[in-house]
């Protein structure tokens, strides 16, 4: 069922939008690192990586995220997750 004025998204576009949303949430969390619980960055980073993996699998080659390339985005969030996990589990 389609509604007038409502855009129908492909499966690829849906995963890209969802991954981009988590990318923005994580970026906001990184900016506010001292004010948010460290577990937030860990969880959002992992979810972002998983969603971008799914988006790449569905065919996304360019994202609206600042870094643009999904593999670069996943690499960045992997480093953020590793750093946050190290800090959260070992240095805290």
Can you point out the beta strands (E) in 1-92?
none
pLDDT tens digits, 66-81: 888 999 999 999 999 9
pLDDT value, residue 91: 78
Longest Cα separation, the chain: 54
Domain for residue 43, yes or no?
Answer: yes
Domain enclosing residue 86, as ranges = 11-91
Residues 77 and 26 sit within 8 Å (Cβ to Cβ): yes
Using a cut of 0.85, tell me whether the model's pTM lies above it: no
Average pLDDT over residues 8-36: 81
Long-range contacts of 47-51 (CB under 8 A, 24+ apart): 47/22, 48/19, 48/22, 48/23, 48/73, 48/74, 48/77, 49/74, 49/77, 49/78, 49/81, 51/15, 51/18, 51/19, 51/22
């Amino acid at each position: 069922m389609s509604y007038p004025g409502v855009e129908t998204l492909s499966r690829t576009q849906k995963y890209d939008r969802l991954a981009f949303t988590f990318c923005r949430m994580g970026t906001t969390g990184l900016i506010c690192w001292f004010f948010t619980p460290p577990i937030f960055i860990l969880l959002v980073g992992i979810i972002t990586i998983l969603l971008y993996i799914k988006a790449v699998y569905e065919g996304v080659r360019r994202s609206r995220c600042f870094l643009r390339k999904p593999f670069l985005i996943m690499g960045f969030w992997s480093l953020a997750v590793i750093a946050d996990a190290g800090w959260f589990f070992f240095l805290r």
